[in-house]
Chains A and B, each alone.
Chain A
């Protein structure tokens, strides 16, 4: 930051700051502390609390430092008796109606009002009247309790809701003494970012329902972590209460890191932590007794479970060879664990059948114009292809909202269903399987042609100078290629372009870079490249080309794959073709599942190995922009209080490797770190990306219904609070965000099939009928059925796996 500087003195200390700086920030730079309540780095100043009043020479009255900009030669004083008196008076006023119930307040001990009152405030109140009574414990939304009495009306919460989330649900109601925080129209404050207001609130007015009365700040042991909720990789801190039996995870708070999260978290990341200590965790290894039908599992010891796994693996290797063995999953592992898994598969077992893709996506990155999350801040155009950032990368969505609403970026969305973006944007409908066509048309429009592109969009795209950031969900290989071509066309016109790919799971990108793909070795080296194979210590030629997830499942059904190892992969729930996944699990193949919970997939396994949650492991994760981040020290498995004997995924791989080959998988942590650095996954670096040439349809598990015919094409929609594991088995969290089995229809289709919003309908899929409630919205293009993923009771992948879906009238008439 070069350029002009403004000089001023604060309490006699000279500082030089860029013009436009707030006096508050200049004071910070000078090392002068000015107390604040309403001011916050990420929010526009409002200067409503007045605690930051300072004296400025030449000004008749005290001025608020949080909204006053610096001027050349300004002389600011914070250490005068007037300022001290002002602070004291402001605090006395704030405390007039404050209940001072610090002993029962969750914020007590980390409360700005408490701290500043001790530091600057009066010891006594002179007001003779009783304090005002306002509602306590108001149910503000699914996760938040509001205590109106404690609120000091700093408006940080409402400003966050307006300025950052762009939602405008929280408002200040009433006037003067009666003023209180409430929601517009009495709707619950159900934003996916609601939890941020808890941290923003300088007092204990907004508190978390989960953390309510669970601990005091001094009880907590704090561990820095990376959120495992989605591929954004926000920085979080885990707070354990260790001074009770077992170490209990009590809350998750943010750890501001501007390049990714700006200090914000989504409610999934903040509140979906109870699963780590859920009583439903698998407590010990389970096996299917010999001869028992699938679905029967009995507890056993780790030795016995490993004996079964190793014994059966050796049998299959002897009869079917390495091609008869397949490993699926890994998008939830750390980079280290993903590397160990691919090493176990390739080096020890000798198979190329490894794939981390469990949800039919084609890629988790793409080697064109690699972007960073912060690129969104200076984007002139944002193009969202297929992705639903609000659901699958929420904190990135905040940046998109900001760019579109406050920086005037042109926001385009392209896909079968318009993502729920809270800011003005233009939706370009594209049927499932035809995203590529739409993207090609867009590319042509850059050159002046382009059929079917709305003229206004074409013109804007033509005229906008500057950066284009595309966000793709990694589905449909053809769309990826077309998007790459579009970005290249944009770049060829001398404009900047960037691409972000939103992976399906938290560490999809790390798993991809670590070689958990049948066609790739670690570091994006081709599995067919003899030189790369030699360096990885593999035979120059693979015994057989590796199989993708889909192909492995097909081979298992056909009896050619006798051993299937699933790592944190609930295929029945996540794979787009439920029939195929179920058939493979029910086939003759020996199925090993490594998971935290007895999911519908784990129930069908032959051996279930209980894995430990993310808190029990150390390593690195790779976020959607490729940033390799340390996941913090291995803290604890909070289920320690429960009788759970879980191993981390990495420990399981290492044990299996040793049991199979008689020596460790890697010689030590040093070798592992070197191998990962060689794969481009060194700590603190940015990972490589998938070459466009490797985007094949064959690896793309999403079946595209062909032919026109009658019926709708199902388009899966990610669901932030959904999923088949961590959210479903987190009872408290699930209860607060109940997920409804709802499908979305375009009004035209609703009319054609004779349904009205709220109807329960039967959806005829290939293998029977799926029931759901219908909602009608223009967000869904005609001919498409929007089906949320990961909602209990809605088997979305029976609809996507089944060609066209027919709507079979109403099932039940709603009476009354």
Chain B
């Protein structure tokens, strides 16, 4: 009986002096791998324009049907992104998302990136549907606009003229 006690204490003592693995979350966070897939982010070019062109490829790539994209035509005087097209709605339902990263991989411009951020808990469904206002980053990257891909264009038609009533309904 004494023998068992000694073995037990030995284990305790051994572990007592080992380095601790428990992390004092939330004060301290576990390091994540570089390829960690957290919530989405839509990046900007070095000149501040959005990189997303509203092509919907992320939407169609998503196996969880979590993404909704609706595009419209840029106003050449005040463009949101280079070229003709931008996403006036870009929304992801983080409750549906399985963080597979397919969307990031489908994105032809590299606009979409899954960040390291994983603390997404909340108490309502709606608050976990993130739209442009939360996803479009306010930081610029150092990626220059690929000038060869996006020439000048004209012939702009504001969204409201093309389909009256659409803007109010779709904006998220």
Task: Show the binding face of A for B, using Cβ within 8 Å.
Answer: 99, 101, 103-104, 108, 130-131, 133, 135-139, 145, 149, 209-210, 212-214, 216, 218-219, 243-246, 248, 274, 277-279, 641-642, 731-732, 735
Contacts and interface: CB of A to CB of B under 8 A. Distances in A.
B55 interface: yes
Nearest to A241: B70
A246 B68 CA distance: 13
B60 A139 contact: no
Given A243-B68, A732-B162, A104 B84 contact: yes
A139 B155 contact: yes
A103 B170 CA distance: 21
B128 interface: no
B162 A133 contact: no
Contacts of A243: 59, 65, 68
A212 B73 contact: yes
A732 B73 contact: no
23 contacts: A104-B54, A104-B83, A104-B85, A130-B148, A137-B153, A138-B155, A139-B154, A145-B155, A149-B151, A210-B162, A210-B163, A212-B162, A213-B71, A214-B162, A216-B55, A243-B59, A278-B165, A279-B164, A279-B165, A732-B161, A732-B162, A732-B163, A735-B161
A103 B55 contact: yes
B55 to A, nearest CB: 4
Nearest to A212: B73
Q: On chain B, which size bracket covers the interface?
A: 35 or more
Contact of B157 (A101, A135, A138, A209): A209
Contact of A274 (B59, B153, B163): B163
A462 to B, nearest CB: 55
Given A136-B151, A735-B161, A244 B83 contact: no
Contacts of B163: 210, 214, 248, 274, 277, 732
A176 B72 CA distance: 34
Interface of B: 53-57, 59-60, 65, 68, 70-73, 83-85, 108-109, 148-149, 151-157, 161-166, 169-170
A643 to B, nearest CB: 11
Given A103-B108, A218-B60, A245-B170, A213 B164 contact: no
Given A139-B154, A216-B55, A732-B161, 20 more contacts: A101-B149, A103-B57, A103-B109, A104-B55, A104-B71, A136-B151, A137-B153, A137-B156, A138-B154, A149-B151, A210-B162, A214-B70, A214-B163, A218-B60, A244-B70, A244-B170, A248-B163, A277-B165, A278-B164, A279-B165
Given A104-B83, A732-B161, A248 B151 contact: no
Nearest to B157: A209
Nearest to A281: B165
Contacts of B68: 243-244
Contacts of B83: 101, 104
A88 B108 CA distance: 25
A244 B87 CA distance: 14
A246 B163 CA distance: 14
Nearest to B81: A104
A212 B157 contact: yes
A239 to B, nearest CB: 14
B119 to A, nearest CB: 29
A434 to B, nearest CB: 46
Contacts of B109: 103
A183 to B, nearest CB: 15
Contacts of A274: 163-164
Nearest to A138: B155
Scoring A133, A137, A214 by chain B CB atoms within 10 A of each residue's CB, the highest score goes to A137
Contacts of B156: 137
Nearest to A149: B151
* Across the A-B interface, the 3 shortest Cβ-Cβ residue pairs: A137-B155, A103-B55, A136-B153
A729 to B, nearest CB: 10
A732 B56 CA distance: 25
B45 to A, nearest CB: 16
Contacts of B65: 243
A96 to B, nearest CB: 14
A292 B50 CA distance: 56
Given A103-B55, A210-B163, A244-B170, A133 B155 contact: no
Given A136-B153, A137-B84, A244-B70, A104 B53 contact: yes
A735 B158 CA distance: 13
A624 B54 CA distance: 44
B154 A137 contact: yes
Contacts of B164: 274, 278-279, 731-732
Contacts of B157: 209, 212
A136 B84 contact: yes
A136 B169 CA distance: 29
B164 to A, nearest CB: 5
Contacts of B60: 216, 218
Contacts of A103: 53, 55, 57, 108-109
Which among B59, B60, B108, B157 has the greatest number of chain A C-beta atoms within 10 A? B157
A449 to B, nearest CB: 60
A135 B85 CA distance: 16
Contacts of A149: 151
Contacts of A145: 155
A216 B151 CA distance: 22
Contacts of B55: 103-104, 108, 216
Residue in A133, A243, A642 whose Cβ sees the most chain B Cβ within 10 Å: A243
A642 B165 contact: yes
Given A137-B154, A279-B165, A213 B148 contact: no
A366 to B, nearest CB: 42
A135 B57 CA distance: 26
A10 to B, nearest CB: 37
A731 B161 CA distance: 8
Contacts of A104: 53-55, 71, 83-85
Nearest to A137: B155
B87 to A, nearest CB: 10
B155 A213 contact: no
A210 B164 CA distance: 11
Contacts of B165: 277-279, 642
Nearest to A103: B55
B162 A209 contact: yes
Given A136-B152, A137-B155, A248 B56 contact: no
A115 B169 CA distance: 34
B57 to A, nearest CB: 6
Contacts of B148: 130-131
Contacts of B153: 136-137
Contacts of A136: 84, 151-155
A248 B68 CA distance: 14
Contacts of A279: 164-165
A641 B70 CA distance: 16
Contacts of A210: 162-163
Nearest to A246: B169
A251 to B, nearest CB: 11
B84 A133 contact: no
Contacts of A133: 151
B73 A213 contact: yes
A732 B73 CA distance: 16
Nearest to B149: A101
B162 A248 contact: no
Contacts of A732: 161-164
Nearest to B70: A244
Contacts of B154: 135-139
Contacts of B72: 213
A642 B57 CA distance: 28
Nearest to B83: A104
Contact of B169 (A209, A245, A278): A245
